[in-house]
Amino acid sequence: LCPPGVLPLCCRPPAWDRAARPPPSPLQPPGLPLAPCRSFSNNKIQVELDESSGVAMMKFKSPPVNSLSLEFLTEFSISLEKLENNRACRGVIITSAIPKIFSSGLDITEMYGKSMEHYTEFWRAVQEMWLRLYGSSMVTVAAVNGSSPAGGCLIALSCDYRIMAENPKFSIGLNEAQLGIVAPFWFKDTFVNVVGHRIAERSLQLGSLHPAPEAHKLGLVDELVPEEKLMEKAAAVMAQWLALPDHARQLTKTMMRKAVLDRLVAHREDDIKNFITFVSKESIQKSLGKYMEMLKKRKS
Ligand code: CO8
């Protein structure tokens, strides 16, 4: 049984511990209609699975900026779980339905002026989302079609491959230091595993948001393409990754990621306690309050 306040998802076996799935179903014989496209949608995320290719398209659609609220994170984890449990699905492309924004990161209002119970529930949902995405046995491709600070960057970093629209106005990075907060160790581990220690160290301390061309140079994103070519490119990359046998790719992914995933699983409760202690400090609440004011002022 799940303890109160815990997402039911966390009680199920984690994806990275599961056996590799069977190979995809054989190609449809000529003359038969193509396998159906199944879609499901919740308030904040739209998912469409093309069963003939085994590829799902997941689009964030939570205006104005796809911030990662408790509701968003819960829906994200549930959507990933549904796809993970569907044998017809082998890969997922993650993108945004909101122009110019991939995701603005964790919803700051969830970390400001709330109760300890709320912080606990929220942080557990952040952990759950990352464990599901970073540990997914599916091929995950981020098609980053807008700005992607902090938690938005974490989502992209957790995928197997990142393609970004080449617009220099779009930026990506773990900018927590700019908010006066500190990226948790598993954000840092995910970042280091993509860009290496030195680049992560500098970028994290400065809380840098890198414009797309710079992000590409640093290896934070794998490829830049014109915005109108983004989805086409994502589909081509997905096809390339899916050309390999699932079991070999999945076991390799597990080998590369398990230690980092296990580290959070082993220290999950301590990580929640650390988050609550940190975020409820008066000085941190002040920093977050100021940052939110700055966002509002910038607008007017
Ligand atoms: N959370 C909540 N509300 C947000 C967020 C957010 N992350 N980002 C933007 N908003 C709100 C704005 O305040 C504004 O609200 P309102 O309409 O009421 O004034 C509305 O969304 C629209 O925002 P903008 O006008 O700024 O929209 P733009 O299109 O001009 O810019 C950006 C979009 C680039 C995304 C810009 O909003 C931005 O830079 N946002 C801040 C992003 C950010 O710094 N996120 C970091 C969140 S922290 C995190 O993810 C990891 C924390 C790890 C925890 C560490 C332990 C404590």
The tens digit of pLDDT for each residue in 243-299 reads 999 999 999 999 999 999 999 999 999 999 999 999 999 999 999 999 999 999 887
Considering only 32-41, 172-181, 214-223, which range has the smallest mean pLDDT?
32-41
Which protein residue has the closest C-alpha to ligand 1 atom 38? 104
What is the structure's pLDDT at 35?
55
What is the structure's pLDDT at 25?
44
Residue 19, class by beta-carbon neighbours within 10 Å (0-12 exposed, 13-18 middle, 19+ buried)?
exposed
How does the average pLDDT of the chain come out, rounded?
90
146-182 per-position pLDDT tens digit: 999 999 999 999 999 999 999 999 999 999 999 999 9
Which of 65, 71, 153 has most ligand 1 atoms within 8 Å of CB, for mutation?
Answer: 65
What is the structure's pLDDT at 4?
40
Phi then psi for residue 12, to 5 deg, are -90, 160
What is the structure's pLDDT at 38?
81
pLDDT of 241 over the 90 cut: yes
Residue 112, class by beta-carbon neighbours within 10 Å (0-12 exposed, 13-18 middle, 19+ buried)?
middle
Determine whether domain 37-298 maps to CATH 3.40.50.620.
no
What is the whole-number distance in angstroms between the Cα of residue 46 and the centre of ligand 1? Answer: 21
Contact (CB, 8 A) for 34 and 28: yes
Select the more confidently predicted residue: 95 or 12: 95
pLDDT of 14 over the 50 cut: no
Average pLDDT over residues 60-70: 98
Distance CA 114, CA 12 (A): 29
Residues 6+ apart with CB under 8 A from 21: 87, 90, 137, 246, 247, 250
Which protein residue has the closest C-alpha to ligand 1 atom 25? 299
Pairing between strand 171-173 and 146-149? parallel
- Give pTM, 2 decimals: 0.91
Distance CA 292, CA 225 (A): 32
What is the structure's pLDDT at 8?
40
* Ligand 1 atom closest to 299 (CA): 25
What is the whole-number distance in angstroms between the Cα of residue 224 and the centre of ligand 1? Answer: 24
Q: Between vectors from CA 272 to CA 269 and to CA 278, what angle results, nearest 5°?
A: 140
The ranges assigned to domains in the chain are 37-298
What is the structure's pLDDT at 41?
82
What is the structure's pLDDT at 36?
65
The rounded percent of the chain whose pLDDT value lies above 70 is: 87
Contact (CB, 8 A) for 90 and 138: yes
Which amino acid is it at 158?
A: S
Could you please report the per-residue DSSP string of 238-289? HHHHHTS-HHHHHHHHHHHHHHHHHHHHHTHHHHHHHHHHHHTSHHHHHHHH
Average pLDDT over residues 192-207: 98
Average pLDDT over residues 79-94: 97
What is the structure's pLDDT at 253?
98
At residue 19 the predicted structure's pLDDT band, cuts being 50, 70 and 90, is very low
